[in-house]
Amino acid sequence: MSSITRLTGAAVAAGVVFAAIALPAVGGTGAMFVSASEDLGIKPEELKEPPLAEKTTVLDAKGNPIAQFYEEYRENVTLDEVAESMKTAIISIEDYRFYEHGAIDIEGTVRALAKNVTSGGIAQGGSSITQQYVKQVLLNSASTEKEKNAALEASYARKLKELRYAMAVEAKYTKDQILEKYLNIAYFGGGAYGVEAAAKRFFGVNASELNLAQAATLAGAVQDPNSTDPNLGKDQRARLLNRRDTVLNRMAELGKITTAEATEAKAKKLGYKGTPLPGGCGASDYPYFCMYVRNEILSNPVFGKTKKSRTQFLNRGGLTIQTTLDPEMQHAAEQAIKKHVNASDNPVASEALVQPGTGQIKAMAASRKYGNSKRKNEMSYNVVADAVHGGGIGFQAGSTFKTFTLLTALKQGMKINDGFTVGSGYRAPYYSSFKNCKGENIGDPSHTVTNDEGGGGFKSLATGTWGSVNTFFLTLEQKVGLCNVIKTAQSLGIKRADGQKLQEYETFTLGINEMDPVTVANAYAAVGARGKYCAPMAITKITDRYGKVTNYQPKCKQALDPEVADAAANILSGVFTKGTMRSVGGIGRPAAGKTGTTDAQSTAWFAGFTPDLAGAVSIGDPRGANDHKLNNITIGGRYYGSVFGASVPGPIWKDTMLAALKDVPPTDFTPVNTARFGGCGQSCQPVRTQPDPGGDNGTNGPLDEANIGTAQNN
């Protein structure tokens, strides 16, 4: 080949590349380009094609969708799932010789250049569909603004590299495969990526169902999706309508449709529906559980080494996440809360249900809807969970913590009827009477803790628990050791809702630490599972976009001697028949639990369990529980002088369990080993019937110690 020929070829190729830079839309290749590219040394270069960002779907335990997450809302489809009218429309307006040329279309590019010169603007584009696909891949692969700008810059170097990639793509795939990839990667506006998402977003139909007018609309949108985004207003819709008609005219000009068909389609209105994009916890029917799942993935290294990798895994991975949420149990919790607390009330009630033996979270509900509207009294954080899972600071758990002191006493060999005589007030004898887990003296001889109703007397593990007697439990905590009680609580997963260290003071047993319902319910579930503690679990299975399945198993350990848990369950079952829940009653099957009320009714709780299901209910004012106490207040349309654990949380728990377990056969607790825990051994009191002056709800009546150790739930 002569130098003149080489010069001519180089000039032509350079001109083609220049034209392609100036023209953003249609193109291809031919014999002339092949010759020119050889003279310039333009060789194909393999294009790295990372998976497209694809939506993640979250399912409940029965396989029903409950939420979606995505960085780009996209649903990939195969080419045979796209209407013929859509394929024809996009090819007609973007690259009408698509099936006839290679990576660049010289004829189309030169024609477009001439047309644009004579028109004084951009009337026709010069980039082929293959080139546009390459540009979108580079743009989607960019992880920084610099990389994104490089993928879009109008430079000879960028365009030349794009052409080399396009040549490799044309050699690697068939035309149908390239068109399919382009239709799935293109952005159409309105937050819709890919033709399937766009069809649903714009018109509420699948891509296979698009009619001619709708197909022409979407085909017209890809040129400048931001300026024609119908979701942004009237001007954008007007521009989109004009683009639709341009596409229809072009289809008629090419003979793909008749003039009459084009006229009929142009007579139709735009028809944009603006179907809400699915996804996000705000759009979920179960926003608090959704937030838990989302934050579990974003915070757990199991799902990626860094926060960035975990975010991409969730929002771009095209995952299907199977969860533990039971829709019937969730409904039971929601209805029970709604019965007792209004969404408009200042105090908020929240509840979590957990399965003993697995840690599976079956329900998360609250009296307020999730959202940012102050007018609607919505919650903007996950009031049912801890801060790691989108929650806040939680509420002090009150006397529900007495269970950990009870368990510690049983672990140390105390029997059910062991106890001591206590007064109506308790003051630590010495600073050294209580030591935190660092061995520091933290007793407070200057402060007196009293019972809600005053009085004292002999209290055993059983009667002290049934009456929730403060002075008894401080005496018991002093005897068994504060740090031992703390370690028992921690072995059952107890940690503060705000993520801070547990406050290790003598009043630990009275529930001074702020907690969340998931954590408390899960700790009680471990007692119901005979001491088997399982970490809270919301995700059971993840299927990736390629069909690979990863199953997640419960993470459990034996935190308590099973017989210790049995003895505690036996005592706690008496709370329904002889204790603070006596006025509320049981659920018609073996159940155990503990009321909780904090100082001066700042917050109130109930935590309880059966062998099949555990739950915890809290109520408090998120404006500040200490400043907005639960006294002289109307909740759920009912006036309360003071709210205790048995006033609102207890009835919510009972109504929840009755509905949630209605189709679950009752399971009995394992009987107490009476040889080990029956009677008394260290400090005994003759069997007698006496009134109980203690308690944390002031409704206690006679307690019959003769039945201690054999208490059954009614």
* Residues β-bridged to residue 609: 592, 614
One-character DSSP codes across 452-494: TT---EEEEHHHHHHHT-HHHHHHHHHHH-HHHHHHHHHHTT-
Mean pLDDT for 612-620 is 97
Q: How many CB atoms lie within 10 A of CB 365?
A: 28
Tokens 């392609």 sit on residue: 20
Give per-residue pLDDT as tens, 486-514: 999 999 999 999 999 999 999 999 999 99
pLDDT at 148: 74
The Cα 652–Cα 633 span in angstroms is 18
pLDDT at 153: 73
The Cα 490–Cα 636 span in angstroms is 35
Phi then psi dihedrals of residue 551, to 5 deg? -95, 145
What are the CA-CA distances from residue 462 to residues 204, 318, 410, 473, 671 (Å)?
62, 53, 11, 11, 16
* Sign of the Cα pseudo-torsion (79, 81, 83, 89, in order): negative
pLDDT above 70 (res 694): no
Rg (CA), the chain: 35
Give per-residue pLDDT as tens, 426-438: 999 999 999 999 9
pLDDT above 50 (res 412): yes
Sorted by where each starts, the structural domains of the chain and their CATH numbers stand as 3-50+75-266 (1.10.3810.10), 394-533+556-700 (3.40.710.10)
Spatial neighbors of 394 by CB under 8 A, at least 6 apart, are 386, 496, 497, 498, 514, 515, 516, 618
What are the CA-CA distances from residue 139 to residues 24, 45, 529 (Å)?
15, 17, 53
Mean pLDDT for 232-259 is 96
Give per-residue pLDDT as tens, 135-173: 899 888 876 777 777 777 767 777 788 888 999 999 999
Mean pLDDT for 74-88 is 96
The Cα 207–Cα 195 span in angstroms is 6
pLDDT at 453: 60
Name the helix (H) or strand (E) containing 219.
helix 212-221
What are the CA-CA distances from residue 80 to residues 60, 150, 183 (Å)?
31, 34, 12
Tokens 């644009």 sit on residue: 116
Identify the band that residue 13 occupies on the pLDDT scale cut at 50, 70 and 90.
Answer: very low
